[in-house]
């Protein structure tokens, strides 16, 4: 397999793995909420309050953060974005080094 193809394969495999974990998180979330509801109402565990709603809401927020990370953030902040940022920073550092060299040469010539 060529390096380019291997890189594309690895990226696709990682994205599929992320989406698979997201789907697993959703399934665990739904089953967990059903269990929390059952524990609160059917098993009468502290049934004077609806505590399961608070736990499910917190868990839902965490799931939404997971969705945002997988479907939004990681879709545009991928390897290409990382490379572009690295190239940009390296170019900036190279320009600074050249400027410092020029300043040093100017200072030497003025002496």
Confidence at residue 37, expressed as pLDDT on a 0 to 100 scale: 92
* Pair 53, 7 in one domain: yes
Tell me which residue of 98, 72, 82 sits closest to 15, measured CA to CA. 72
Confidence at residue 64, expressed as pLDDT on a 0 to 100 scale: 96
Residues in the chain: 111
Positions in the chain short of pLDDT 70: 1
Number of domains in the chain: 2
* Pair 71, 93 in one domain: no
* Pair 86, 69 in one domain: no
CA–CA gap between residue 90 and residue 96 (Å, rounded): 10
CA–CA gap between residue 21 and residue 1 (Å, rounded): 27
pLDDT in tens, 43-62: 887 778 889 999 999 999 99
Distance of CA 4 to the CA centre of its chain: 24
* Pair 12, 38 in one domain: yes
Structural domain including 96 reads 78-111
């Amino acid at each position: 397999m060529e390096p380019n193809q291997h890189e594309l394969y690895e990226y696709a495999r990682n994205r599929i793995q992320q989406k698979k974990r997201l789907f697993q998180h959703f399934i665990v979330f739904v089953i967990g909420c059903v269990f929390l509801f059952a524990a609160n109402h059917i098993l009468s565990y502290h049934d004077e309050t609806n505590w399961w709603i608070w736990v499910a809401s917190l868990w839902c927020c965490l799931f939404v953060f997971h969705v945002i990370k997988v479907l939004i953030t990681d879709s545009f902040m991928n390897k290409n974005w990382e490379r572009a940022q690295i190239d940009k920073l390296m170019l900036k550092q190279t320009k600074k080094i050249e400027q410092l060299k020029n300043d040093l040469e100017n200072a030497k010539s003025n002496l």
